[in-house]
Amino acid sequence: MADHSHSHSDHHGRDHDHSHVPTVTKENERKILISFFIIFIFMVVEAVGGVISGSLALLADAGHMLTDAIALGLAYVAFRLGRRVADSQRTFGYARFEVIAGLINALTLFGIVAWIVYEAIERFQEPQPVMAGSMFVVAIIGMLVNLFVLWYLTRGDSDHVNVKGAVLHVMGDLLGSVGAIIAAIVIWYTGWTPIDPILSVFVSLLILRSAWSLLRNTLHILLEGAPDNAGAEKISEHLRKTVPGIQSVHHVHVWSLTSGRVLATLQVQPMEGVDVRTVMQQVDHELKTQFKIEHPTIGIDWDGVASCTLEEPSKAAVSHAGHSH
């Protein structure tokens, strides 16, 4: 049995026909960075406004904006680190930084939610005065800031995974601002202050939803889990159905390096008399187009194959099928 292998050693200092990193444009980087500063600055304003007005809903929304700022900051850092060239010690560069930072982000969000819920319980037991006017003004500005950032992020190219993630964060925060506005109006007209902690818990549930999704996704990647659309059984079944000349597919391992970057290794046993190179190229093509696998490493299992059209199978076994640099 022999395995195909490919090396990253020739990835330095020259262009290739594929990229290890999702396309990053200067426009994307600028959008993310400007949005980060806008969100971060207003997060501080909203936190101060929450303390002055006594509004827990504003503080909760500031906590949500902090998650937005973290997400935008991580996206920007991921863009910058993604440019770093891989070396002999880190053959995939710093792609995993985004996942590790995402895990830290998720754990931080759980802490914020716990604090908001604790404060809400305290306020239910001992209601505190809330300055509805100040709360309303700050919440309105927060909504306008979020609407602007949402518009800015969705202009032009917004297909990048980090830009999409940032947009989802800001949309969630927009709901938090609306919640704070509703709480301010209710307190202004009725004086019923419990609406403030009630809506703060609602905002914390939005944060909890984001935190849980982020934690689940990051842990799945760190545990080398296969993406939903590229499980080992799905790949084996698809290749056997679509690529003629395959006797069996086994030892399939699929994992994500980071968000949107999938790698795989597998062994294929070709049938007797087939053109092995053609089979391997078709397998490589299917893995890249059907399952979006960035680096398929295909091994040829020669056991049980009496003959094939390659005179020197050892040469085929050390080249990456369909993979050119």
Question: What is residue 305's predicted lDDT score, i.e. its pLDDT?
Answer: 55
**Where do runs of H (alpha helix) occur along the chain?**
26-53, 56-82, 97-125, 132-153, 161-190, 195-222, 232-242, 276-290, 313-317
Question: What is residue 22's predicted lDDT score, i.e. its pLDDT?
Answer: 44
Spatial neighbors of 300 by CB under 8 A, at least 6 apart, are 1, 2, 3, 4, 267, 268, 269, 270, 276, 280, 313, 316, 317
Q: Could you identify the residue written with the tokens 């004086």? A: 191
Question: What is residue 15's predicted lDDT score, i.e. its pLDDT?
Answer: 41
Question: What is residue 186's predicted lDDT score, i.e. its pLDDT?
Answer: 92
- Best CA proximity match to 53, nearest among 140, 155, 129, 161: 129
Query: Which pTM does this prediction carry?
Result: 0.67
Question: What is residue 70's predicted lDDT score, i.e. its pLDDT?
Answer: 81
d(CA 212, CA 110) in angstroms, rounded, equals 8
| Averages of pLDDT over each 10 residues, the chain, 325 residues | 43 40 64 89 91 89 83 78 70 75 81 87 84 91 91 72 72 82 91 88 83 86 83 87 87 82 88 87 90 86 58 41 41
Contact between 120 and 56 (Cβ < 8 Å): yes
Question: What is residue 158's predicted lDDT score, i.e. its pLDDT?
Answer: 60
Q: Could you identify the residue written with the tokens 């698809």? A: 238
Question: What is residue 10's predicted lDDT score, i.e. its pLDDT?
Answer: 40
Residue type, 265: T
Contact between 234 and 111 (Cβ < 8 Å): no
Question: What is residue 5's predicted lDDT score, i.e. its pLDDT?
Answer: 43
- Best CA proximity match to 83, nearest among 19, 162, 34: 19
